[in-house]
Amino acid sequence: MADLIDGESIAARLRARVKCEATELAARGTPPGLAVVLVGEDPASQVYVRSKLRRTVEAGMTSFEHRLPTSASQDDLLQLIARLNADDRVDGILVQLPLPGHIDSDLVLDAIDPLKDVDGFHPVNVGRLSAGTGGLIPCTPLGCMMLLDTVIDDFRGLKAVVIGKSNIVGKPVAMLLLERECTVTVTHIATRNLPEIVRGADILVVAAGHAGLVRGDWVKPGAVVIDVGINRIVDGEKRRIVGDVAFDEMDHAGSVTPVPGGVGPMTIACLLENTVRAARRRRAEPMVAGDEAVHAGSA
Ligand code: GUN
């Protein structure tokens, strides 16, 4: 039976550590502050934003909530971002995606101060990640690496396969694995012989958005499997959330993340971690030991 990587308890430990750091920073002046911007009424985004704000407050930080109507113009949003960039109480800015169609997301993300870009989506942070020179790392990939760190001591030379080439997960997680000196293959929708490529993987990170894509006979015995997928399916009478991996077929894997309860809780915990990190950096406070394993290469 594969070992379960318990994202809930790993995320709870991370949140507790972040809370200690936030409390320390608050004692020395101001608590870290996170601004979350939601444009429009997308129900899934509303749920995510609510949990982000709740977790921020629970972690001893200040949350600034900004809701704009769907009709808000791109200029309205850019003006809000300019105000948040200039606001010293705000250490992190997150603009919930997707944005309504009339707003250019790239332009908006580019307008966020890279030092406050807790999503790690600004081109400066993307560039820093690919150059291995620090910066803020996108939350889900950071969470994947923290989960892998609980089961792998030495990444050097391991074969890693990433399924999915998105800017939010696939590409940044590939960069992080490369930084650890894995031999990394990134696969995508046009990849041929996917099962064969996956069979070579010691580490498999799946972010395809396709329920049950990865079957048991694709996975090498002993491999570590990180399932980033969140798919809502109807199973008979019931609605369930499942990952991109056929979880019931993973007995022979070394370790596997469940869905829910694997990568999901890590994403918000890493957002809090990034906010404290941004706060420390903006206030020229030293980083805390133990951070540096995942944030390897940080200046
Ligand atoms: N929408 C879905 N995932 C994310 C994320 O990680 N960050 C932001 N800003 N929006 C999202």
The pLDDT tens digits of the residues spanning 6-18 come to 999 999 999 999 9
| 44, 49, 54, 59: CA torsion to nearest 10 | 130
- In order of their start, the domains of the chain are 29-117 (3.40.50.10860), 139-264 (3.40.50.720)
- Alpha carbons 140 and 173: distance in angstroms, whole number: 8
Q: What is the pLDDT of residues 69-123, one digit of tens each?
A: 999 999 999 999 999 999 999 999 999 999 999 999 999 999 999 999 999 999 9
Q: Please report the pLDDT score of residue 299 as a whole number.
A: 38
Q: What is the pLDDT of residues 55-66, one digit of tens each?
A: 999 999 999 999
Closest ligand 1 atom to 271 CA: 6
Q: Sorting pLDDT into bands at 50, 70 and 90, what band is 251? A: very high
Q: Please report the pLDDT score of residue 289 as a whole number.
A: 59
Average pLDDT, stretch 141-156?
A: 98
Q: Sorting pLDDT into bands at 50, 70 and 90, what band is 293? A: low
- Alpha carbons 30 and 61: distance in angstroms, whole number: 9
Phi and psi, residue 228, nearest 5°: -90, -10
Work out whether the CA dihedral 145, 149, 150, 156 comes out positive or negative. positive
Q: What is the pLDDT of residues 203-223, one digit of tens each?
A: 999 999 999 999 999 999 999
Q: Which residues participate in catalysis according to the annotation?
A: 52, 96, 119
Per-residue burial over 249-282, b if 16 or more Cβ lie within 10 Å, else e, is ebeebbbbbbbebbbbbbbbbbbbbbbbbbbbbb
Closest ligand 1 atom to 97 CA: 10
Residue from 46, 52, 94, 275 to probe ligand 1 pocket by mutation (most atoms less than 8 Å from CB): 94
CA of 199 to the centre of ligand 1 (A): 30
Across the chain, what does the average pLDDT equal? 95
Which residue, among 73, 96, 115, 240, has the nearest Cα to 168 in the 3D structure? 96
